[in-house]
């Protein structure tokens, strides 16, 4: 099983319609230089809060809005995750849209009705936090106090930090750095000047020891355990590639569940054990006993039900599950696992050719015309080389008298947008298929940040060979070790197979309910907002995917969800089913990333982070 080499599920600067990732080891959380992206943990619709279009209408049921606070210097898409500890909320100022004023907002919420920003922790230049903002108490022989942890991804590659940060927030209004940019500083055994980029972090106090686990963006061994017993001198103590350590977490079918990588995790003490719940793309939700971080013990895991159960139940459609295990939590009584399955591509796509009945994976470009569910495109494959300006291999004009034609271009040398522009300049092509290049971060399936006026798709390199009947000559090991772009043995203008692409509606991301048992956990139910399973809401209403779940600290049957443009949602577990019992969308829409439960004077509240503004505080009033 190989790992994804496109970007992890980190929010991207564009509305990425395709969630297929490239294989091999994991890369950074921003588009590659040519615009390759991954599952796009926050693909945006730029019109989301514009006028009366681009979002769902305001709604409210069994939820009181206690307060809301716009963060200083907040601009659309600037706010990411939220964490709460004691009387303070911590909100990440995300940096992939604007690489300025990145860091963590500190908000006094002693009075939930009157939140007040009291401090801002500036991130290192070129770095930004996103997921996993968390504060906790550490009490070890080396340190006693409150510590905030945050992750580092980069918006300036040469100056940005990777790794994780630790801050002393014993006095939250005056946070003090303890360590910044610490983590795994090797890639495939080679030394680096800085720690690998990380997508998320979670810390826990284990008595005389304290640990943090970080999601490594750059290696297949993506579970990195940091010893933070002395948070001024943290160090890497263990790292794991859990699908190799515990191969039973893998799923053999359907065939699309192959891009296995870690997205997020939590640790909870259960029956005296430190149990880690890990959320994996294409491998599901995995529970591991991490009481001894040097000897992890498999407890249980989930599979993605095929066909997709939520789509089948809500819309009567039969499609494969996408398997985007994003984030999960245990319920208060530990009886259930609730998993958020994020999906920003309500329209899936698959390709086929005239000489094989087997469909292949294909991904639609971000900002090129999208095929909607039920639409298709067909044309003869015409090899067009790299399609870069100044390249001696000039894109040939299509022979439109022989029928529709699709330009097949290889990745490399220039950006995807430049390639599309070159094909557009040639005129007459129905669509563009971009084939992955060679390299340790190439070869596999990938998504694209790309602009253009022609439908544009991406495929893995072996599929690209197959479009010209050369799949038998493809060698994956040679591809990973190579540095080429062009398809060998194929000349400019060569005609290949007839390529067909069909789009199908497969819904937005939704929620899973699992029985928290050992071995394979049984899936009990799924839940989605109604609009997420309705093709009429596939575009024009913002992102209607779930993002995170937070379980109640007072009730074992209650869970809260951040649902991006679907707002804030509340569900009860009734007879092993998830039943929506509360909702809130503000006037003008919401764009909610994070949810975190907290208590004040015995009352349970939920802090939520709106990506375009800042902090919302809710109270559920239903039964």
CATH of 349-503, one of 3.10.180.10, 3.50.30.30, 2.60.120.380, 3.40.50.970: 3.50.30.30
Q: With 80 as the cut, is the pLDDT of residue 19 above it?
A: no
Where in the chain are the domains?
349-503
- Locate all alpha helices (DSSP H) within 475-554, ordered by sequence: 476-481
Nearest to 7, CA basis, from 16, 15, 17, 22: 22
Q: With 50 as the cut, is the pLDDT of residue 330 above it?
A: yes
pLDDT tens-place string over residues 570-616: 999 999 999 999 999 999 999 999 999 999 999 999 999 999 999 99
Question: What are residue 226's DSSP bridge partners?
Answer: 212, 236
Determine the average pLDDT of the residues in 260-269. 96
pLDDT tens-place string over residues 274-322: 999 999 999 999 999 999 999 999 999 999 999 999 999 999 999 999 9
Share of the chain above pLDDT 90, in %: 80
Can you give the pLDDT at residue 282? 92
Question: Cα–Cα distance between 119 and 490 in angstroms, integer?
Answer: 60
pLDDT tens-place string over residues 98-113: 899 999 999 999 999 9
Task: State the pLDDT confidence band at 440, using cuts at 50, 70 and 90.
Answer: confident
In whole angstroms, what separates CA 28 from the centre of its chain? 12
CA dihedral sign of residues 488, 491, 497, 503: positive
Distances in Å between the Cα of 198 and the Cα atoms of 30, 374, 478, 487 are 12, 38, 29, 34
Can you give the pLDDT at residue 258? 79
Nearest to 67, CA basis, from 128, 110, 123: 110
Can you give the pLDDT at residue 523? 98
Can you give the pLDDT at residue 97? 84
Distances in Å between the Cα of 264 and the Cα atoms of 18, 199, 452 are 20, 8, 33
Query: Do the Cβ atoms of 145 and 136 come closer than 8 Å?
Result: no
pLDDT tens-place string over residues 531-568: 999 999 998 999 999 999 999 999 999 999 999 999 99
CA dihedral sign of residues 313, 317, 321, 326: negative
Can you give the pLDDT at residue 40? 31
| 421 phi, psi to nearest 5 deg | -60, -40
Question: Cα–Cα distance between 330 and 165 in angstroms, integer?
Answer: 26
Determine the average pLDDT of the residues in 66-80. 95
Which residues touch 82 (CB under 8 Å, ≥6 apart)? 89, 90, 91, 92, 133, 593, 594, 595, 596, 607, 608, 609, 615
Question: Cα–Cα distance between 412 and 429 in angstroms, integer?
Answer: 21
Determine the average pLDDT of the residues in 373-379. 94
Question: Cα–Cα distance between 157 and 31 in angstroms, integer?
Answer: 11
Q: What is the mean pLDDT of the chain?
A: 90
CA triple 233-25-193, angle to 5 deg: 40
Nearest to 94, CA basis, from 30, 23, 185: 30
Question: Cα–Cα distance between 549 and 528 in angstroms, integer?
Answer: 13
């Amino acid at each position: 099983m190989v790992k994804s080499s496109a970007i992890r599920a980190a929010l991207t600067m564009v509305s990425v319609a395709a969630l297929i990732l490239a294989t091999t080891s994991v890369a950074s959380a921003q588009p590659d230089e040519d615009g390759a992206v991954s599952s796009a943990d926050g693909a945006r619709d730029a019109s989301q809060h514009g006028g009366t279009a681009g979002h769902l209408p305001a709604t409210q049921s069994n939820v009181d809005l206690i307060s809301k606070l716009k963060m200083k210097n907040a601009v659309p898409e600037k706010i990411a995750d939220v964490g709460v500890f004691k009387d303070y909320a911590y909100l990440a100022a995300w940096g992939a849209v604007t690489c300025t004023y990145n860091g963590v907002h500190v908000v006094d919420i002693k009075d939930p009705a009157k939140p007040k920003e009291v401090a801002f922790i500036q991130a290192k230049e070129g770095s930004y936090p996103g997921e996993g903002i968390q504060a906790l108490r550490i009490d070890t022989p080396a340190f006693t106090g409150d510590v905030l942890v945050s992750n580092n991804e980069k918006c300036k590659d040469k100056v940005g930090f990777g790794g994780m940060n630790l801050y002393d927030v014993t006095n939250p209004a005056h946070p003090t750095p303890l360590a910044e940019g610490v983590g795994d500083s090797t890639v495939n055994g080679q030394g680096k000047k800085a720690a690998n980029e990380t997508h998320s972090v979670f810390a826990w106090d284990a008595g005389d020891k304290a640990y943090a686990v970080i999601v490594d963006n750059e290696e297949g061994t993506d579970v990195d355990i940091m010893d933070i017993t002395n948070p001024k001198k943290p160090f890497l103590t263990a790292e794991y590639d859990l699908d190799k350590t515990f191969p039973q977490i893998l799923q053999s079918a359907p065939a699309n569940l192959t891009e296995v990588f870690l997205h997020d995790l939590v640790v909870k003490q259960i029956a005296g054990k430190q149990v880690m719940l890990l959320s994996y793309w294409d491998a599901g939700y995995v529970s591991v006993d991490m009481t001894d971080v040097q000897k992890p013990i498999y407890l249980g895991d989930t599979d993605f039900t095929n066909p997709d159960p939520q789509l089948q139940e809500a819309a009567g459609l039969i499609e494969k599950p996408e398997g985007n295990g994003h984030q999960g939590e245990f319920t208060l009584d530990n009886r259930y696992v609730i998993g958020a399955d994020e999906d920003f591509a309500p329209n899936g796509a698959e390709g086929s050719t005239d000489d094989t009945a087997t469909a292949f994976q294909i991904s639609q470009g971000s900002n090129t015309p999208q095929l909607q569910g039920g639409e298709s495109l067909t044309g003869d494959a015409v090899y067009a080389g790299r399609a870069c300006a100044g390249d001696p291999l000039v894109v040939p004009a299509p022979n439109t008298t022989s029928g529709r034609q699709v330009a097949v271009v290889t990745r490399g040398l220039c950006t995807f947008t430049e390639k599309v522009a070159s094909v557009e300049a040639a005129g007459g092509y129905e669509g563009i298929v971009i084939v992955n290049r060679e390299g340790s971060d190439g070869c596999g399936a990938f998504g694209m940040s790309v602009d253009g006026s022609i439908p544009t798709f991406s495929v893995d390199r072996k599929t690209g060979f197959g479009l010209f009947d050369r799949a038998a000559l493809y060698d994956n090991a040679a591809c990973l070790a190579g540095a080429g772009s062009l398809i060998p043995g194929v000349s400019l203008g060569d005609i290949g197979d007839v390529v067909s692409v069909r789009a199908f509606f497969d819904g937005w991301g939704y929620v899973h309910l699992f029985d928290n048992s050992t071995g394979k956990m049984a899936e009990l139910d799924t839940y989605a907002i109604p609009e997420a399973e309705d093709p009429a809401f596939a575009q024009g209403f913002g992102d209607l995917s779930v993002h995170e779940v937070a379980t109640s600290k007072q009730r074992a049957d209650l869970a809260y969800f951040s649902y991006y443009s679907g707002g804030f949602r509340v569900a009860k577990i009734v007879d092993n089913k998830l039943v929506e019992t509360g909702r809130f969308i503000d006037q003008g829409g919401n764009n909610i990333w994070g949810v975190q439960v907290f208590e004040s004077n015995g009352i349970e509240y939920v802090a939520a982070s709106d990506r375009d503004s800042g902090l919302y505080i809710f109270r559920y009033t239903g039964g």
